[in-house]
Amino acid sequence: MEQATPPACAAPPPVHPKSFPNGDPDAPLNPPGAKNTDSCLPLMRTGQVMHNYACNGPAPGDIAFRWIHGSVCAATNTDPDIQIVTYNEDTYILRQNVCVHWQAPFTYLLFGNRGALLIDAGATPEPEYYPLGKTVDALIRRWCAARNVPDIPLTVVLTSGEYKAQNQGLGQFAGRANTTLAPTSLAGMKSFYSLASSWPQGTGRIDLGGRIVDIIPTPGAHKDGLSFYDRYNCFLFTGDLFFPGRIQIANDRDYAASLARLVKWNRTHAIKWVMGGHIDMMFVPGRAYPRFATYKPLERLLQIDPSLIADALTQASGLIGKPGVAIRADYTLLNRVSPDEDAYYVSPDLPYINVSYWLP
Amino acid sequence: MDRRTFLSLPVASFLVPTAQAMFTAQPEAQSVPLAAQIDFTSNVPAPGTFPAKWICGSPSAKHNLDPAVQVHWYNEHTAFLRQNKAYSYEAPFMHLYFGNERILMIDQGYTQLRSDWPLRDVVDNCIAEWCRRNGRRPVDMPLLLAFTHLHDDHYAGINQFADRPNTRFMGQTHEEMLGFWGMTNYPEERVTLDLGGRDILIWGNPGHVMSEFAYYDTYTQILFTGDMFYRGRCYISFWETWFASMKRLIAFIDTHPVTHVVGCHVEMSRTGEDYPYGIMYQPDEAPWQLTVDELRHAYEFAKTITRPGIYYTGAVFLCNETRGATTIDKNSYAYD
C-alpha cells in the first residue's frame, strides 16, 4: 500500500526581534490608532491636557507594592538604585535603595498643570550610585509626553536644608534648565517661601498650576524643618520630623510646638496619610531596625495615620526638658540621647514579640 | 571511629606525646615526607607584613567591587582574612595558621550562606595555594575550625564547612570548646596546639563574654586577643573578669616575646575618631595591629577605671559595662 506523502511544512511565522510580554518600553504612549488603552488621557490630543485638581477628599491612589528592603549582603544587592512607585498619574514616590544608603530616604515628585515639585533629594551625591537627576528627568519626560507639553518647570525643595540624608542629591540638579532649587540656608529658605516675617507660625504655598502645596514651618528635628501639605492627595510630607522610625529630636520645645501646629492644621485640612522621609520601624509594635541596617525584611509601611500626630504631641510634650526615649508602636522619639539609645529595648506597655533584627 | 567519638576526642590528644602512640598507626601521619618539613622554630619571630591599609568599604555598599574576602598573606605560612565591610558591617578578621601537619582557622565571619559570601571557596583556595607552594596535598592537611568566642559575627560562616572533608569544628558550647582544647582549668590553663612544628598557645580570655580564648602563634609571635581587646570599642560586659584577663595578658607579654597584638575588628579612624556601630564605610581606618606598649598602656589606664562608662586610652575605647551597641556620637542637629 502506498504511503501518503506528508504535507509540506508551512513556513514558520516570522519571529519578531523583540518580545515584551508587558509592553514595549520604547513604544510611545498611546500611539495613533490605539483603541484599547485604559488611560484617562484623551486619544486625540491637540494641546496640553489639563487636569482639574479640585476634588472632594483625597485623590485616588495607592501604594500597591512593598518597598524594596535591601539584602543580607549589601554588596550583592541587585535591586534598582531608585524604586519608583506611581501613586497616581501626578504623584510619584521614589525610594533610594537601602544598600546604596542605609537611610533609604523617600523623595516625592508632584505634578501640576504648570509645574513639577520634587520634595527632598536623597542621601547620596554621586549620580552613579543614586541617579536621582536622571530618574526625575525620565519621569518628567514621560509625564510631559502624556500631557502633551514640551517641558514643565521643576522646583526642588527640601524638608530640611541642613539634613544630610535628604539634601545630598541637590547637586544633580545644578544647571538643569527650567529648574529652581530652594536655598539650603535657613535665611534663604525663609525669604524663598516668603516666611521671613512669620516664621514659624505662618504658612506659605506653592502653586503648581491648579495644584496647591502648602508650606508649614516645622522646626524641631532640624532648625530649618519644613512640612509640605498636598491638597490634591491630602498628603502631609513631614520629612525627618515625623516618620515611622527612630525620630531624633533636635529641640524639644520646637518639636512639640511644630506637632501642635500640625494638629491644628489637621482640624481644617483633611490628611489621608502622613508621609515621612524614612522607615526604621518593623511591623512589630515598637521595634525598629538599628542605624545602618541594610536588610529590613520586616519593614513597616511608610504611611502614617494622621491621628498619630496628636499621639506624638502628647509623647513629645512629656519629653520637654528631659533627655529620654518614648517608644510607641509606630515610632520612637529620642530626645537628647545617643542615636542608638534603647535600640533593642522593648517598651513594657507594648507586646513582646521576639524578632531577629538581622540575619547574618 | 564514629563521628560522635571523633568529635569527643580533645584535639590536644593528637599532640600530647603520651597520647601520640595511638595515632601513629594512622597512615596520614606519615604522608608528609620528612624532607619537606618546614622549620617553624628557628629564626623567630618570622617576619611578616600587614597591608598599608585594609579594604574598608565604599560610599555605596551596593556598588562595592572589592573582593568578598580580603586575603593578606602576612608571611608564607600565615594568612589573615577580612570580610568585606560592604558584605557585613562587622568586617571581622579571620586567621589561617599553617603547620606541617594541620591548619588552624580562627573565626568564620558574619555571613551564613556560601551563595552570599563564599568564605569556604576563599579558604579552600588559600589552602590549595599554600599546599602548592609547599609540596603538600590539601586532602592531607586537616583543617581545625576554632572560634575566639561564640558571637555570631565570629561563627556565622561555619556551616559552609559542614561538608568539607578532613575538617574538625570546635563546637558551639563553652563545654565543647574547652573539650576541643582539652582544658580543665579555664581560664588560667594555657594549652599548646601543635600544628606540626608550629605551636599555638591558647588560654582563656573572658571579659567581653565569659567564654573567650586568646591565641598566640609562636612562629610570628602575634598575640590574638579577639573581641576582648581590639582597635575599637572593647565592649566589656564583665569588668572584674576582663581586668583579670588583662592581667593574664600582661603576665604573658612579660614572659613571652610579642610582635603585634591583633583583635577581631577595627572601628576607629587614624585620628581616633569612633566609627559608629553598624556603619559600612570607614574611609580613614586605623591599622588593625596594636603594639605591646598600647596593650600595657591600656592596662595601666584600666587600673584607674572604677565606674561604668566609655574611656579612650589613646588606642582603644574601653566600654565598661555599657550597652551592647553603645556609640559615642550624638545628634549632630541638636540646637537650643
Closest to A222 (Cβ–Cβ): which among B64, B152, B333?
A: B333
- B333 and A221 within 8 Å at the Cβ level: the answer is yes
Tell me, what DSSP letter sits at residue B99?
-
Check whether B265 has a pLDDT greater than 90.
yes
Burial of A149 from C-beta contacts in 10 A (0-12 / 13-18 / 19+): middle
**Residues in B touching A77 (Cβ below 8 Å):** 61-62
Look at strands A179-181 and A204-207 and give their pairing.
unpaired
Q: What is the pLDDT of residue B299?
A: 97
- B111 and A162 within 8 Å at the Cβ level: the answer is no
The residue-averaged pLDDT of B247-252 equals 97
| B252 vs A40, more confident | B252
Q: What is the pLDDT of residue B237?
A: 93
Measured CA distances, B264 to B34, B77, B289 (Å): 35, 20, 10
- The full DSSP string for A266-290 is HHHS--SEEEES---BBSSTT-BPP
Inform me whether the C-beta atom of residue B301 falls under 8 Å from chain A C-beta atoms: no
Name B213's bridge partners. B204
Check whether B42 has a pLDDT greater than 50.
yes
Cell 537650643 belongs to B336
Confidence of residue B143 (pLDDT cuts 50, 70, 90): very high
Q: What is the pLDDT of residue B51?
A: 97
What the block records as the C-alpha cell of A127 is 549620580
Helices B239-255, B292-303: axis angle to 10 degrees equals 140
Name A108's bridge partners. A93, A119
**Residues in A touching B116 (Cβ below 8 Å):** 72-73, 76
Confidence of residue B149 (pLDDT cuts 50, 70, 90): very high
d(CA A142, CA A127): 20
What the block records as the C-alpha cell of B105 is 582557622
* B225-239, B270-284, B310-324: least confident range: B310-324
- B87 and A76 within 8 Å at the Cβ level: the answer is yes
Q: What is the pLDDT of residue B46?
A: 96
- A126 and B60 within 8 Å at the Cβ level: the answer is yes
Q: Is the ipTM of this complex over 0.95?
A: no
Residues B58, B80 contacting (CB under 8 angstroms)? no
Check whether B16 has a pLDDT greater than 60.
no
Inform me whether the C-beta atom of residue A282 falls under 8 Å from chain B C-beta atoms: no
Inform me whether the C-beta atom of residue B273 falls under 8 Å from chain A C-beta atoms: no
d(CA A221, CA B335): 9
Cell 624532607 belongs to B35
- B60 and A130 within 8 Å at the Cβ level: the answer is yes
d(CA B327, CA A340): 7
Q: Is A64 helix (H, G, I), strand (E, B) or coil?
A: coil
**Residues in B touching A130 (Cβ below 8 Å):** 60
Pick from A223, A204, A221, A224: which is nearest to A213 by CA?
Answer: A204
**Residues in A touching B333 (Cβ below 8 Å):** 162-163, 221-223, 248, 250
**Residues in A touching B336 (Cβ below 8 Å):** 251
- B326 and A99 within 8 Å at the Cβ level: the answer is no
Q: What is the pLDDT of residue A18?
A: 60
Inform me whether the C-beta atom of residue A252 falls under 8 Å from chain B C-beta atoms: no
> Cα-flanking dihedrals φ and ψ of residue B131, to 5°?
-65, -40
Q: What is the pLDDT of residue A31?
A: 61
| Chain A, window 71-130: residues with a beta carbon less than 8 angstroms from a chain B beta carbon | 72-77, 79, 81, 97, 99-102, 124, 126, 128-130
How many other C-beta atoms are found inside a 10 Å radius of the C-beta of residue A21?
Answer: 4
d(CA A87, CA A92): 6
What the block records as the C-alpha cell of B18 is 603520651
Closest-CA residue of chain A to B67: A75
Confidence of residue B19 (pLDDT cuts 50, 70, 90): very low
Q: Which one-letter amino acid corresponds to residue A5?
A: T
- B61 and A100 within 8 Å at the Cβ level: the answer is yes
- A334 and B63 within 8 Å at the Cβ level: the answer is no
What the block records as the C-alpha cell of A97 is 535603595
Ranges in chain A, pLDDT < 50: 1-2, 37
Closest-CA residue of chain B to A345: B323
Inform me whether the C-beta atom of residue A356 falls under 8 Å from chain B C-beta atoms: no
| B145 vs A47, more confident | B145
Look at strands B213-217 and B199-204 and give their pairing.
antiparallel
Closest-CA residue of chain B to A222: B333
Look at strands A116-119 and A106-111 and give their pairing.
antiparallel
CA angle B273, B274, B275 (to 5 degrees): 115
**Residues in A touching B326 (Cβ below 8 Å):** 338, 340
Closest to B279 (Cβ–Cβ): which among A130, A292, A360?
A: A292
Name B96's bridge partners. B79, B105
The helix (H) or strand (E) run that includes residue B106 is strand B103-106
Q: Can you give the length of chain B in residues? A: 336
**Residues in B touching A290 (Cβ below 8 Å):** 277-278, 325
What the block records as the C-alpha cell of B335 is 540646637
Inform me whether the C-beta atom of residue B313 falls under 8 Å from chain A C-beta atoms: no
What the block records as the C-alpha cell of A278 is 524614612
Based on its alpha-carbon atoms, the radius of gyration of chain A, rounded to whole angstroms, reads 24
d(CA B262, CA B290): 6
What the block records as the C-alpha cell of A91 is 504623584
d(CA B261, CA B216): 9
Check whether B6 has a pLDDT greater than 60.
no
Count helices and strands (H / E) in chain A: 4, 15
- A223 and B335 within 8 Å at the Cβ level: the answer is yes
d(CA B289, CA B266): 9
A–B: how many Cβ contacts below 8 A? 113
Q: Can you give the length of chain A in residues? A: 360
Pick from A100, A58, A20, A27: which is nearest to A231 by CA?
Answer: A58
d(CA B167, CA A303): 51
Inform me whether the C-beta atom of residue B245 falls under 8 Å from chain A C-beta atoms: no
| B326 vs B129, more confident | B129
Burial of A116 from C-beta contacts in 10 A (0-12 / 13-18 / 19+): buried
Check whether B28 has a pLDDT greater than 90.
no
Inform me whether the C-beta atom of residue B78 falls under 8 Å from chain A C-beta atoms: no
